[in-house]
Amino acid sequence: MVQHSSTDTGIGLDPGPGEAGHAQVLRCSGDRDRRTTAWVDEQRCDGVRAQTELGPAPQQPVVEDVPEPSVKGPLDVVVKIGGAGVCRTDLHIIEGQWAEAMHPTLPYTIGHENAGWVHEIGSAVTNVQLGDTVILHPTPTCGLCHACRAGDDMHCEKSTFPGLDSDGGMAEYLLTSARACVKLDPETQPKDVAALADAGITAYHAVRKALPLLYPGTCCVLIGAGGLGHIGIQCLAALTATRIIVVDRNPDALKLAEQLGADHTVVADGNQVAAVQELTGGAGANVVLDFVAEQGAEQDGFAMTRPAGSYFVIGYGGTVHIPTLDIISTERNIIGNIVGTYNDLAELMALAQAGKVTLHTRTYPLEAAAEAVADLDAGRVRGRAILVP
């Protein structure tokens, strides 16, 4: 087993409103401590963090020291993080939207889009070696359940989701599994590809599922050209001959969409459904990929879908209100999407390393996590924000 350094930095969550009364103690010094960023309201005293009662508002990130992860099982891998993507899901975590679904033990470190270098491996790990450059599938899996055997990794019965239900990668080091590691060209910079681990795989997975529906002569509408959407455009352009229409409210995002392969762009100014209908001769699109799915986009997406077409929901936050008669009379399909498989990520990385999919990113040092989160929340990030320890 390899000895590793004594300090590590990460971003974490502490208990939210209504979870007062605990006193969490983390030592901030010693051989096995690392720095982390926690969502807390805290006071420091003599090298110990004592948690105080939280108010109702979401807390902002702070940097703190927590114990560094180490290999415990034979298939464990510790990765030195070279880049961690900041996702809208992180905003939703801060708001508490995922707490009921994931039930994480608090405090914990967030960050589910991670890439870096193998730092330590368990005794049974054979697919990666120390120093290898890797990107991490977001959900380490068991490999033995029906879903894993069928290749549906994201539905593994025993998977974990680092960054949502356990410590994630907005840190100097992350404990993961050999099954999550996709080995990359050693020349690859982790900060350049980290967001492909979730934003990329999610976009690719949706496009991959839609491929049988997107034969030449078809039309695909993509709603939202941001962090996921700009990857989805490139995947469509690389894998299909479909006509691509991109809808977004931001003119700069639409300019980027044109550069990435969109055939038409539509400003979401209230007339976007009519504009799509006009571009499709009144029929609507064969496939709609909705990377927003909130604030009305979820209603627009279904309205843009032609009879017998398919509306893929990838973003989330809204509620779909559709009369069942409208579904059965037109035979339109509504299809959910979550993350993707290990093979999806491996295929996506093949596209990325061939230069067919690139990430537009803005990097921040880990200590500027609060700024990155604020910029994302305010819509100031084109593409993806990346934290670099």
Whether residue 40 is found in the same domain as residue 102: yes
Residue 49: inside a domain: yes
Domain that holds residue 150: 11-196+342-346+357-388
Whether residue 103 is found in the same domain as residue 242: no
CA-based torsion, 230, 231, 232, 234: positive or negative: positive
Give the integer Cα–Cα distance in Å for 137 and 142: 13
Please give the mean pLDDT across all residues of the chain: 84
pLDDT digits (tens, 9 = 90+) for 128-177: 999 999 999 999 999 999 999 999 988 999 999 999 888 999 999 999 99
Instruction: State the Cα torsion 155-353-110-365 to the nearest 10°.
Output: 180
Whether residue 190 is found in the same domain as residue 310: no
Whether residue 182 is found in the same domain as residue 119: yes
DSSP of 306-319 = EEEEEEEE-S-SS-
Are 65 and 36 spatial neighbours (Cβ–Cβ below 8 Å)? Answer: yes
Tally Cβ neighbours within 10 Å of residue 219: 24
Band (5; pLDDT cuts 50, 70, 90): very low
Whether residue 263 is found in the same domain as residue 144: no
Of 343, 345, 361, 363, which Cα lies nearest the Cα of 353? Answer: 345
Residue 27: inside a domain: yes
Give the integer Cα–Cα distance in Å for 152 and 111: 22
Whether residue 158 is found in the same domain as residue 307: no
Q: Kindly report the CATH number assigned to the domain that includes residue 253.
A: 3.40.50.720
What pLDDT does 345 receive?
Answer: 96
What is the number of domains present in the chain? 2
CA distances from 386 to 36, 94, 159, 230, 369 (A): 16, 17, 25, 16, 9
Whether residue 184 is found in the same domain as residue 266: no
Whether residue 57 is found in the same domain as residue 79: yes
Give the integer Cα–Cα distance in Å for 229 and 202: 10
Whether residue 175 is found in the same domain as residue 257: no
Whether residue 75 is found in the same domain as residue 33: yes
Whether residue 188 is found in the same domain as residue 216: no
Give the integer Cα–Cα distance in Å for 137 and 159: 11
Are 2 and 120 spatial neighbours (Cβ–Cβ below 8 Å)? Answer: yes
Residue 376: inside a domain: yes
Q: What percent of the chain has pLDDT over 90?
A: 69
Are 231 and 204 spatial neighbours (Cβ–Cβ below 8 Å)? Answer: yes
Across the chain, how many H-helices and E-strands are there? Answer: 12, 19
Whether residue 314 is found in the same domain as residue 371: no
Residue 5: inside a domain: no
Give the integer Cα–Cα distance in Å for 195 and 363: 11
Residue 43: inside a domain: yes
What pLDDT does 60 receive?
Answer: 60
Residue predicted with more confidence, 19 or 354: 354
Band (59; pLDDT cuts 50, 70, 90): low
Residue predicted with more confidence, 55 or 236: 236
Residue 2: inside a domain: no
What pLDDT does 280 receive?
Answer: 98
Residue 352: inside a domain: no
Residue 4: inside a domain: no
Q: Kindly report the CATH number assigned to the domain that includes residue 150.
A: 3.90.180.10
CB contact set of 30 (below 8 Å; sequence gap of 6+): 6
